[in-house]
């Protein structure tokens, strides 16, 4: 550009722009446009100092927002004039990084990109068959990170010194491995092996594992965020053996298969396949059957209409799937109730009773992360479990929260997750599980420390659930920081508002919040609620008529108890006696009458349990949370369009007693009854929510709570709310995994 006048611009790019190949991308765009200057990483993101013709600068600015690398996420591109130095630069370079900080993002782990997947299959290639192949566009990130800044020395790749060939790729801006911190090859990277009985078995680890799996064995496989237990998903005996060994009688088992094998056993919609193939590579719930290879054993997901599938997301998984040429069960490697195992010795000790063999490697896992679980509904994709591939991604705070304090939100007791807010962003942490379990509690405390350190978080206040018995609440109280106590269902409402960027001063909404249990503002147990409110507060304007939780916590595990009390309340005690001949009904009824261990609850989840028990699809005792409700949804999917049952509207209460009486008189097939049950709840809540909007008291309707993971119910609510703005969950779980986001927003609103 010698002899030409040059304009200069200083361009700031904010977002998920470090560790994703953004600087070499900028370098390539600058070379393409004939621009000069430099690009560097710093504490705020990526900074570009660039000079050239105005038209070329405009094209570069557009490219920085529109042509970004696969793993990047750009929140803002800001440009100001730059005084071009004299003499002007003669080319464009990648400069050394500036100050490091936690204002930038740590990138989530990403599934193997097409280029690396092809490379491991290329005969004679340097990385042919290598299980740890990766590049800037894929591979481990968060699961190997020990601290900031994100460079090799701060990851579990630190012990593996790059060979000359890898170092040359790492230093070449034109190579897709430029500054890929986990870069490795067979000469310098982690090693894979197979072992049985605590001893390494000579031979190819993938071939040995495949042989054991296809012979009906169970193999523990070290993945990105922990170990999986795998078996042949076409072998009913192997599935039964895994369930027996793991003591997991009914909970659905996740499956992994290549795209080609998946097509033999399932028929994902284009939207479902697109979700499967994202860099996050989540488990996606897909309807059973439909493939050309016939059905799979019922033991994979008894009583359910869907199976959870995922595509291979590491080179190790790609190689294994190719070797077995069939779907594999790929379920979390853990003892019942405990978090996933991540260490080699830990795996030998805890999984030795389950697994016939182990696929091991010597790259440590820094962070325990389960697989994310998602599904596509009539309203689009939604996250059920936010974990590997989705964290530590951030969410922008809505308009009005610009001056919000830094908030630490502690989440709930079930599906625990934490949330931190800072500089206009909310970081919702990963799924941790049930905090009553000692090891999960330890993992929660570690996650709390990790997130605060990695993101340099210094909270001004702490937000907690109202329930004083929640360990997360107690941990928040122990910080000594100013405390904001948040009602459980208000937090659910705020979470869906925040995800949908509802402004701080956007006005009240009608929140249909349906879940299991949450402590109410009146110290009773809520769970089937219609709220009118915003981030700052709420009014409870409707609810399911409460019923006793007969036996207290036992009612959360044994659906027949909820059926008995609902039938008794409907004047159908004789029917309860006929349906539940072996149950200790008289003892329980006396306890309910005396108010002994029988707190009242408006829980929608317990109503689902009751109706599932009425239709005979609920077990006497559930082996996992939501089992009865999921079975009822699966049954209802075969019921087709259905008319609602009647309910009684008594003031603010929605009384389901008439529904049970109508069902008892109808003698309908169970699938039709299940469909009518869903329609009944949808009509009852949608009508009241719509009335609030039409009366001008609410601006929109928001749907949240764990029961809203039920796609059939959500679709019915949306149908009956036609013409009314409806806010839904997509990236944030409707269940308690999203609770901390709502707590954080309510805390921030009160702190502004």
Q: Is 201 helix (H, G, I), strand (E, B) or coil?
A: strand
Backbone region of residue 373 per phi and psi (left: phi > 0; alpha: psi in -120 to 50; beta: other values): beta
Confidence of residue 151 (pLDDT cuts 50, 70, 90): confident
What is the average per-residue pLDDT within 138-159? 90
Quickly list DSSP for 676-709: HHHHHHHHHHHHHHHHHHHTTS-S-EEEESGGGG
Task: Count the Cβ atoms, other than its own, within 10 Å of residue 665.
Answer: 8
83-112 pLDDT tens trace: 999 888 999 999 877 655 555 567 899 999
Which of 361, 378, 401 is the C-terminal boundary of a domain?
361
Active site residues: 23, 41
Average pLDDT over residues 13-26: 89
- Read off the DSSP letter of residue 452: H
517-571 tens-digit pLDDT: 999 999 999 999 999 999 999 999 999 999 999 999 999 999 999 999 999 999 9
Domain of 21: which CATH number?
3.30.70.100
d(CA 463, CA 186): 48
Mean pLDDT of 586-608: 97
**Exposed, middle or buried: residue 319 (CB in 10 Å: 0-12, 13-18, 19+)?**
buried
Closest by Cα among 397, 396, 411, 491 to 447: 411
Query: Is 384 among the domain residues?
Result: no
User: Which of 310, 330, 361 is the C-terminal boundary of a domain?
Assistant: 361
Residue with tokens 């895994």: 242
| Number of other CB atoms surrounding residue 681 within 10 Å | 28
The string of pLDDT tens digits covering residues 255-300 is 999 999 999 999 999 999 999 999 999 999 999 977 666 689 999 9
Q: What is the pLDDT of residue 98?
A: 65
Structure tokens at 678: 């869903």
More confident residue, 4 or 23: 23
Give the per-residue pLDDT at 99.
59
The DSSP letter of residue 622 is -
Q: What is the dihedral of CA 626, 628, 630, 634, to 10 degrees?
A: 180
User: Which band of pLDDT confidence, cut at 50, 70 and 90, is reported for residue 19?
Assistant: confident
Give CA separation, 463 vs 402, 426, 540, in Å. Answer: 18, 14, 21
Whether residue 334 has a cis bond before it, omega within 30° of 0: no
Residue 54 confidence (pLDDT): 93
Query: Do residues 284 and 252 lie in contact, with contact meaning Cβ atoms separated by under 8 Å?
Result: no
In a domain, 102, yes or no: no
Residue 215 shares a structural domain with residue 332: yes
Determine the Cα–Cα distance for residues 187 and 21; give it in Å rounded to an integer.
24
Q: What is the CA radius of gyration of the chain?
A: 27
Tell me if residue 462 falls in helix, strand or coil.
strand
> Domain with 329 in it: what CATH number?
3.90.870.30
Cα end-to-end distance, the chain, whole Å: 51
Judged against a pLDDT cut of 80, whether residue 494 lies above it is answered with yes
Is residue 701 very low, low, confident or very high in pLDDT (cuts 50, 70, 90)? very high
d(CA 600, CA 740): 26
Same domain, 216 and 328: yes
Measuring CA to CA, which residue among 185, 136, 122 is closest to residue 319?
A: 122
Are 375 and 436 in contact, with CB atoms under 8 Å apart? Answer: no
Task: Kindly state whether residue 347 falls inside one of the protein's structural domains.
Answer: yes
Residue 113 forms part of a structural domain: no
Answer whether residue 682 shows pLDDT above 80: yes
Are 89 and 207 part of one and the same domain?
no
Residue 26 lies in a domain: yes
Q: Do 605 and 715 share a structural domain? A: yes
Model pLDDT, residue 453: 86
- State pLDDT tens for residues 390-438: 999 889 999 999 999 999 999 999 999 999 999 899 999 999 999 998 9
**pLDDT band at 18; cut points 50, 70, 90:** confident
- 278 occurs within a structural domain: yes
For 427, the token pair is: 């970081």
Distance between CA atoms of residues 491 and 734, nearest Å: 11
The dihedral over CA atoms of 444, 449, 450, 451, expressed in degrees to the nearest 10, equals 90
157 in a domain, yes or no?
no
Tokens of 277: 């193939």
Does residue 608 contact residue 682 with C-beta atoms inside 8 Å? no
pTM (2 decimals)? 0.94
Q: Which residues span the domain enclosing 42? A: 7-94
On the question of pLDDT at 4 being above 70, the answer is no
Judged by average pLDDT, the poorest of 10-19, 353-362, 368-377, 511-520 is 10-19
The total domain count for the chain is 3
What would the pLDDT profile of 52-61 be if each residue is shown by its tens digit?
A: 999 999 999 9
Residue 354 counted as domain residue: yes
Please state the rounded mean pLDDT for residues 608-626: 96
Taking phi over 0 as left and psi of -120 to 50 as alpha, with beta for the rest, 140 belongs to beta
State mean pLDDT over 689-694. 98
What DSSP assignment string belongs to 647-676? -EEETTEEE-HHHHHHHHHH---HHHHHHH
Q: Would you state the pLDDT for residue 43?
A: 77
Q: Indicate the pLDDT class of residue 3, thresholds 50, 70 and 90.
A: very low
The per-residue pLDDT for 37 is 95
Residue 359 pLDDT: 98
Report the share of the chain in percent with pLDDT over 70: 98
DSSP 219-241: EEEE-SSSEEEEEETT-HHHHHH
Q: Does 622 score more than 90 pLDDT? A: yes
What is the rounded distance in angstroms from the CA atom of residue 422 to the CA atom of residue 429?
A: 14
Q: Which two tokens stand for residue 702?
A: 């928001």
The pLDDT of residue 106 is 78
| Across 183-210, average pLDDT | 97
Name the percent of the chain lying above pLDDT 90: 88
- The CATH number of whichever domain residue 560 belongs to comes to 3.30.420.40
Please name the helix (run of DSSP H) or strand (run of DSSP E) that holds residue 513, with its range, or none. strand 509-519
Q: Which helix (H) or strand (E) holds 328?
A: strand 328-332
d(CA 4, CA 335) in angstroms, rounded, equals 69
Tokens of 689: 């929510």
> For residues 694 and 725, is the Cβ–Cβ distance under 8 A?
no
Residue 453: how many CB atoms within 10 A of its CB? 12
Backbone angles phi, psi at 69, to 5 degrees: -60, 160
Are residues 224 and 356 located together in one domain of the fold? yes
For the chain, give the mean pLDDT: 94
Q: Which of 68, 94, 120 is the last residue of a domain?
A: 94
Q: Are strands 7-16 and 45-52 parallel, antiparallel or unpaired?
A: antiparallel
Nearest to 47 by CA among 18, 12, 9, 91: 12
CA 107 to chain centre: 16
């Amino acid at each position: 550009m010698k002899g030409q006048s040059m304009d200069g611009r200083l361009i700031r790019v904010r977002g998920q722009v470090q560790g994703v190949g953004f600087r070499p991308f900028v370098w390539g765009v600058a070379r393409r446009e004939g621009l000069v200057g430099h690009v560097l990483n710093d504490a705020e993101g990526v900074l570009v100092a660039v000079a050239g013709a105005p038209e070329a600068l405009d094209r570069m600015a557009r490219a920085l927002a529109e042509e970004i690398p696969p793993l990047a996420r750009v929140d803002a591109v800001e440009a100001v004039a730059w005084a071009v130095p004299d003499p002007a630069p003669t080319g464009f370079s990648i400069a050394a990084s500036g100050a490091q900080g936690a204002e930038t993002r740590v990138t989530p782990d990403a599934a193997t990109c097409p280029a690396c997947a092809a490379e491991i299959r290329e005969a004679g290639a340097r990385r042919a068959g290598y299980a740890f192949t990766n590049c800037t566009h894929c591979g481990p990130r968060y699961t190997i990170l020990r601290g900031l800044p994100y460079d090799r020395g701060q990851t579990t790749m630190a012990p593996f010194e790059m060979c000359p060939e890898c170092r040359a790729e790492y230093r070449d801006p034109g190579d897709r491995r430029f500054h890929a911190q986990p870069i490795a090859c067979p000469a310098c990277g982690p090693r894979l092996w197979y072992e049985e009985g605590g001893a390494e078995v000579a031979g190819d680890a993938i071939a040995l594992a495949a042989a054991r799996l296809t012979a009906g064995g169970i193999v523990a496989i070290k993945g990105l965020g922990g170990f999986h237990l795998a078996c042949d998903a076409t072998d009913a005996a192997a599935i039964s053996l895994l369930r027996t060994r793991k003591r997991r009688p009914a909970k659905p088992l996740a499956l992994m298969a290549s795209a080609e094998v998946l097509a033999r056993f399932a028929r994902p919609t284009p939207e479902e396949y697109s979700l499967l193939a994202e860099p996050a590579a989540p488990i996606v719930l897909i309807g059973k059957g439909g493939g050309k290879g016939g059905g799979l054993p019922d033991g994979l997901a008894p009583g359910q209409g869907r199976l959870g599938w995922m595509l291979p997301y590491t080179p190790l998984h790609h190689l294994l799937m190719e070797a077995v040429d069939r779907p594999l069960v790929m379920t979390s490697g853990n003892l019942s109730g405990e978090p996933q195992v991540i260490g080699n010795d830990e795996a030998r000790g805890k999984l030795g009773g389950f697994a016939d063999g182990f696929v091991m490697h010597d790259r440590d896992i820094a962070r325990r992360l389960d697989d994310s679980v998602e599904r596509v509904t009539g309203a689009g994709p939604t996250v059920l479990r936010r974990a590997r591939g989705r964290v530590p991604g951030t969410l922008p705070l809505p308009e009005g929260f610009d001056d919000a304090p830094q908030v630490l939100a502690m989440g709930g007791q079930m599906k625990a997750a934490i949330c931190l807010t800072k500089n206009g962003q909310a970081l919702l942490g990963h799924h941790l599980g049930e905090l009553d379990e000692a090891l999960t509690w330890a993992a929660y405390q570690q996650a709390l420390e990790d997130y605060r350190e990695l993101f340099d978080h210094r909270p001004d206040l702490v937000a907690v659930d109202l329930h004083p018995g929640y360990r997360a609440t107690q941990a928040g109280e122990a910080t000594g920081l100013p405390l904001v106590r948040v009602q459980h269902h208000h937090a659910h409402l705020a979470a869906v508002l925040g995800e949908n960027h509802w402004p701080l001063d956007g006005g009240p909404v009608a929140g249909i919040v349906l879940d299991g249990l949450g402590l109410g503002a009146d110290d009773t147990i809520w769970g089937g609620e219609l709220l009118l409110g915003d981030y700052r507060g709420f009014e409870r304007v409707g609810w399911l008529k409460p019923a006793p939780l007969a036996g207290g916590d036992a009612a959360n595990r044994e659906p027949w108890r909820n059926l008995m009390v609902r039938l008794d309340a409907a004047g159908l005690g004789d029917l309860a006696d006929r349906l539940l001949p072996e149950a200790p009904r008289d003892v329980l009824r006396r306890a309910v009458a005396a108010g002994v261990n029988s707190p009242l609850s408006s829980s929608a989840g317990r109503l689902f349990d009751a109706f599932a028990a009425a239709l005979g699809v609920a077990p006497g005792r559930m082996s996992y949370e939501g089992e009865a409700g999921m079975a009822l949804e699966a049954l209802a999917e075969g019921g087709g369009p259905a008319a609602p049952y009647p309910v009684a509207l008594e003031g603010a209460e929605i009384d389901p007693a008439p529904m049970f009486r109508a069902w008892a008189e109808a003698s309908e097939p169970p699938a039709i009854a299940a469909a009518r049950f869903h329609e009944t709840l949808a009509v009852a809540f949608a009508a009241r929510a719509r009335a609030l909007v039409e009366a001008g008291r609410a601006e929109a309707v928001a749907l949240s709570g764990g029961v809203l993971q039920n796609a059939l119910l959500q679709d019915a609510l949306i149908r009956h709310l036609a013409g009314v703005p409806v806010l839904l969950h997509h990236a944030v779980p409707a269940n308690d995994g999203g609770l901390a986001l709502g707590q954080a927003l309510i805390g921030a609103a009160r702190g502004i």
